Amino acid sequence: MSDQHDPAPYDALLLLSFGGPEGPDDVVPFLENVTRGRGIPKERLKEVGQHYFLFGGVSPINDQNRALLDALRKDFEQAGLDLPVYWGNRNWAPYLTDTLREMITDGRRHIAVLTTSAYASYSGCRQYRENLADALAALEAEGLPLPRVDKLRHYFNHPGFVEPMVEGVLASLAELDPAVRDRAHLAFTTHSIPDSAADTSGPVTEHGEGGAYVRQHLDVARVIVDAVREETGVDHPWKLVYQSRSGAPHIPWLEPDICDHLEELHGAGVPAAVMVPIGFVSDHMEVLYDLDTEATAKAAELGLPVRRSATVGADPRFAAAVRELVLERAARERGSTAKRCALGALGPSHDLCPIGCCPARAERPAAAGADSPYA
Ligand SMILES: CC1=C(CCC(=O)O)c2cc3nc(cc4[nH]c(cc5[nH]c(cc1n2)c(C)c5CCC(=O)O)c(CCC(=O)O)c4C)C(CCC(=O)O)=C3C
Ligand SMILES: [Fe+2]
């Protein structure tokens, strides 16, 4: 096998995701799973439950993950990469612990993990590492031999993640009336998180205020704006804004909210906008409700023409990027060098989260990082 196609030491890939309800009866237990011990106000939970009920109690995230699994298996097969792909979630079936048990039973010993979260943050990185540690502890208690688990690096700036989004922005711009198209603002949007979580995201000393979370998003936004300019010759004004704020009102979270931003654009005489959900790997409920429903209604009320550009989802370029990430990490684990693709100014992210990266409110064991209690 050529070095470029050798997944060793890995014998499997695990797609690790959030999970979502698949019908009305799932919504409340799902929300209980998500918010256990997180201090979310009851009112907020009722409201978010309504978002799911509006769509029949079904989150799009599970079908998105099934499509991504298909795309990964197809890509691996076409590339001659013999690596089985599994899927497990934090908050809904198939649950991570069950999937890991199945992987162990199938004889998998060294597992590469891809999370459906592209950026650094407690919610998008360490929390998944805590979930891995919890699952390993549960399986160890069952007397099972534990596999090694390695989380693949953050891929926010991988061309296979960014290029489909550039294409999506161009497609959305093309849908706008030519009379306003060139003056359209780009509103890059991502999940709001508490300011305190943003400030401590990533290796803290490397990043300023807002931490790695904000910096990584700004970097992706700049890459997309530059690529759009290359293609259209237009320098679209842009801003990074936030959505899906949760938590208690007195705790500061990243702002401005997309809806307030649309209002401000309209007030300033901006004639159109494209909402670009760079923070989301696929069409999650946050995209369907907070952008396509709520923010789109807000724009209609204002009389501001808006479009929402596509998320990456199961794009074949993203599947190919995942293959590259696996092979790149595999080469490194074997002690050889590998090409590490990254656009923008930040360069490829670390493989192993350093100690103290994206700290939790209460310290808990986290696997697949420098502070992992597991091998
Ligand atoms: C940064 C980030 C991502 C992006 C990275 C990634 O993609 O992982 C993300 C993804 C997701 N968040 C999701 C759903 C929810 N998140 C919640 C609550 C929270 N999210 C937070 C952050 C993030 N979340 C935070 C700081 C909270 C507060 C509570 C806490 O500190 O933990 C709540 C509770 C209700 C509410 O308060 O909104 C729900 C229902 C779904 C599934 C959607 C679907 O069904 O399609 C997905 C993919
Ligand atoms: Fe969330």
Q: What is the pLDDT of residues 324-363, one digit of tens each?
A: 999 999 999 999 999 999 999 999 999 999 998 999 988 9
Residue 40 alpha carbon, nearest atom of ligand 1: 37
pLDDT of amino acid 247? 81
Q: Specify whether 77 is located in the same domain as 182.
A: no
pLDDT of amino acid 41? 83
Q: Specify whether 188 is located in the same domain as 229.
A: yes
pLDDT of amino acid 298? 98
Give the residue, out of 130, 244, 293, with the most ligand 1 atoms within 8 A of its beta carbon, to mutate for a pocket test: 244
**Token pair of 233, please?**
């010759």
Q: Specify whether 264 is located in the same domain as 327.
A: no
Q: E strand or H helix at 190, and its extent?
A: strand 185-191
Q: Specify whether 74 is located in the same domain as 216.
A: no
Q: Give the DSSP letter string of 40-90.
A: --HHHHHHHHHHHHHTTTB-THHHHHHHHHHHHHHHHHHTT----EEEEES
Q: Specify whether 95 is located in the same domain as 142.
A: yes
Residue 279 alpha carbon, nearest atom of ligand 1: 4
Q: Which ligand is nearest to the CA of 90?
A: 1
Q: What is the pLDDT of residues 279-298, one digit of tens each?
A: 999 999 999 999 999 999 99
Residue 110 Cα to ligand 1 middle (Å): 29
Q: Specify whether 220 is located in the same domain as 266.
A: yes
Q: What is the pLDDT of residues 297-326, one digit of tens each?
A: 999 999 999 999 999 999 999 999 999 999
The contacts of residue 128 (CB under 8 Å, 6+ apart) are 16, 90, 113, 115, 117, 151
**Residue 360, in any domain of the structure:** no
Q: Specify whether 11 is located in the same domain as 149.
A: yes
Q: What percent of the chain has pLDDT over 90?
A: 91
CA distance 236 to 65: 32
Average pLDDT in the chain: 96
In this structure, which residue's CA is closest to atom 37 in ligand 1?
Answer: 246
Residue 108 Cα to ligand 1 middle (Å): 30
Q: Specify whether 78 is located in the same domain as 168.
A: no
Quote the number of domains for the chain: 2
Domain range for 243: 159-308
Q: Specify whether 144 is located in the same domain as 62.
A: yes
Length of the chain: 375
pLDDT of amino acid 45? 87
In this structure, which residue's CA is closest to atom 47 in ligand 1?
Answer: 18
In this structure, which residue's CA is closest to atom 11 in ligand 1?
Answer: 18
pLDDT of amino acid 12? 98
Q: Specify whether 173 is located in the same domain as 132.
A: no
ipTM of the complex in this document: 0.92
Lowest mean pLDDT among 4-13, 83-92, 137-146: 4-13
- The enclosing domain of 274 has a CATH number of 3.40.50.1400
Q: Specify whether 251 is located in the same domain as 213.
A: yes
Q: Which residues line ligand 1 (CB under 6 A)?
A: 18, 20, 31, 34-35, 38, 40, 44, 48, 59-61, 116-117, 121, 123-124, 191, 193, 244, 246-247, 279, 284-286
Q: Specify whether 187 is located in the same domain as 322.
A: no
Q: Which ligand is nearest to the CA of 194?
A: 1
**Residue 320, in any domain of the structure:** yes
Q: What is the pLDDT of residues 189-211, one digit of tens each?
A: 999 999 999 999 998 778 888 89
**Token pair of 250, please?**
């007195």
pTM score of the predicted model? 0.96
